[in-house]
């Protein structure tokens, strides 16, 4: 009688499987942000960006805004609302059950150090530090965690988050509403190598701003 060896079990750590599923969701959201479900996708993507998985939501947001002026402010509102609600959720969890939530959000020493640094900034600057952080590319879940741990008042935190994220996305919307048509025209006349060069330039700026925020 012949026997067949059972296939080896999947030994990948659970967090790797979760990370893979999150990457798949990110790609699906990016595709959805270019279709008829763009506004709901931007809301969900912005919520995820501000809770468990940072990703450049500004890219599909800009793509949606550049479709035309009537798309600008609904997209900005959806992204801002998703980000605000995500920040409030992380803040509440940090206040109520940080020891349980932290392993889900951060799983290495560097990330924990980043949370400690964010907490120190929040203890020093309070709601003003929250507002400033919400206007930058700093991963907002770190700011929300830090604010919760530092004991920033819930009302002041909510106000700072709403103003910071609202102004950030509104400013983006105003700029693209005013010059979006010219940006699209200029993009179309660029050669392919020029487009890649421009994308690389903005990607470097984005990465540099995030890196600078941790120093």
Total number of domains in the chain:
1
The verdict on residue 2 lying in a domain is no
- Whether the pLDDT of residue 109 is over 80: the answer is no
The verdict on residue 6 lying in a domain is no
Is the CB of residue 140 less than 8 Å from the CB of residue 87? yes
pTM over 0.85: no
Enumerate helices (H) and strands (E) in the chain, giving the number of each.
8, 0
Tokens of 92: 């509440």
The verdict on residue 1 lying in a domain is no
Q: Mind listing the pLDDT tens digit for each residue in 174-187?
A: 988 887 777 777 76
Q: From CA 178, how far away is CA 31, in angstroms rounded?
A: 25
The verdict on residue 189 lying in a domain is yes
Q: Mind listing the pLDDT tens digit for each residue in 15-26?
A: 666 667 666 666
Q: From CA 72, how far away is CA 181, in angstroms rounded?
A: 12
The verdict on residue 192 lying in a domain is yes
Domain boundaries, position 82: 14-213
**46-60, 71-85, 186-200 — which is least confidently predicted?**
186-200
Closest to 94 measured CA to CA, from 145, 157, 139: 145
The verdict on residue 19 lying in a domain is yes
Is the CB of residue 55 less than 8 Å from the CB of residue 49? yes
SS3 83: helix
- Whether the pLDDT of residue 215 is over 60: the answer is no
CB neighbours of 90 closer than 8 A, spacing ≥ 6? 50, 51, 101, 105, 141, 144, 145, 148
């Amino acid at each position: 009688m012949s026997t067949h060896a059972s296939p080896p079990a999947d030994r990948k750590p659970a967090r790797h499987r979760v990370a893979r599923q999150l990457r798949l969701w990110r790609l699906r959201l990016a595709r959805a942000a270019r279709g008829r479900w763009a506004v709901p996708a931007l809301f969900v993507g912005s919520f995820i960006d501000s809770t468990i998985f940072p990703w450049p939501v500004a890219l599909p947001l800009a793509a949606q805004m550049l479709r035309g002026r009537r798309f600008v402010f609904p997209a900005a509102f959806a992204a801002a609302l998703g980000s605000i609600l995500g920040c409030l959720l992380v803040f509440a969890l940090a206040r109520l059950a940080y020891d349980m939530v932290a392993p889900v959000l951060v799983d290495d020493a560097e990330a924990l150090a980043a949370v400690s640094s964010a907490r120190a900034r929040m203890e020093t600057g309070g709601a003003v530090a929250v507002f400033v952080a919400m206007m930058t590319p700093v991963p907002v879940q770190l700011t929300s965690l830090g604010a919760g741990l530092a004991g920033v008042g819930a009302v002041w935190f909510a106000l700072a988050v709403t103003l910071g994220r609202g102004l950030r996305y509104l400013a983006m919307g105003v700029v693209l509403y005013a010059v979006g048509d010219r940006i699209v025209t200029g993009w179309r006349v660029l050669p392919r190598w020029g487009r890649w060069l421009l994308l690389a330039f903005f990607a470097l700026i984005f990465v540099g701003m995030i890196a600078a925020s941790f120093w």
